[in-house]
Amino acid sequence: MEVDMQAERGGGEHGHKRADLEEPDSSVGIGVGDTNSPRDGVPLRSFEMEDEYDDDEPPTNPLDGYRRSWIISYGAGGNSFEDETGRLPMSNTDKPVLPTFVNPMDTMQVFTAKVTEITGGLRWPLAVYGLLAVRDSWDHKRNILFRRTRDDCQTLTSLQDSLLELTGPSCAILMLDGVVFEIDLKVKGDGPPSEDKALSYYAFMYANIPNRSRASNLITEKVPSDNSTMEIKFAHLAYAIEANISIRIASGSNDFRARVTARTKSIAEEMVLLDSRGKNVSITDDGHVVLQRSVAVVEEKGQLILGFEATQGETAPTVVKQVKIEPKQALRTEFYLSLGFCRLYVLFAWSMLP
């Protein structure tokens, strides 16, 4: 199928009906606020577990408090706070019969994370490294959004160039209960690592229960820290399905620059899947375009909109394309897209959750 502006509708082959989701336990006391968009975030407070600290002072930073609470609640049996989720995408894509427990579920889509203010003696440009991750209540393990080592920093040049290059999540972020953001970012200095300054060291929770299974909405969370303020944009998507996206060059040139985005019809904010930032795209030996992010979510009755901007050479005009895809409950949607100088094969693998 050759697609120029809109892909064909793909209905669900399985006819699987959604069962009612189990009401999550909301007994853990973490402050939450209004979920209307946009809003200032409500920080993750230390859990009411001062009696567990054995006469130590309770931690003053929310991330330290969350780490202690996590170890108390989930650290048994060799589990580590640094463990990453083992859940993979496409878990229900190819099953001949869908299990009765899989459904469209409330999920989170993370769009951007950026620095909006620097203080504490920091100066542009910033060589940033560290971690940004989320944890849902499926396994309470890290689902990495951004991770750089000190030897592979991302350089943020100014407030106009302060977006982190996100590479996750590795699988859909489930809204069974609240989702915790873990932020531990540093700025590399000219001296030894011990002299590096913290950019942002914080944790907060988005408590989804007040807005569960209602209309999807966009949230803007402001993240304070001693040396910066960050802004994280994400969406709460109701009754959503996971999409795993891949792109391969079917024919033509692989010598081009590109920006590829995904968004839902319900929310205009874009999720950047690839931005080669003036360089040629990276291609694997078998012709696949290396995407920065490949997992997205979309409402079962919604629409996923894929945007392409591609340029070949220094003076050629930019080719702009948009493809609208309606999700399936399982299996795949595939199509070809012509950019003029090359022809792309685009594949969506669909999966209900968890």
pLDDT digits (tens, 9 = 90+) for 94-121: 998 999 999 999 999 999 999 999 999 9
Count Cβ atoms within 10 A of the Cβ of residue 223 and give its class: 0-12 exposed, 13-18 middle, 19 or more buried: buried
pLDDT at 313 over 90: no
pTM score over 0.75: yes
Report DSSP letters for 263-302, one per residue: EESS----EEEEE-TTSPPPB-TTSBB--S--EEEEETTS
Is residue 343 pLDDT above 90, yes or no? yes
Query: Can you give the pLDDT at residue 43?
Result: 41
Burial category of 45 from C-beta neighbours within 10 Å (exposed 0-12, middle 13-18, buried 19 and up): middle
What share of the chain in percent tops pLDDT 70? 83
Phi, psi (degrees; rounded to nearest 5) at 68? -60, -45
- Mean of pLDDT values over 74-89: 96
Please write the tens of the pLDDT for every residue from 135-166.
999 999 999 999 999 999 999 999 999 999 99
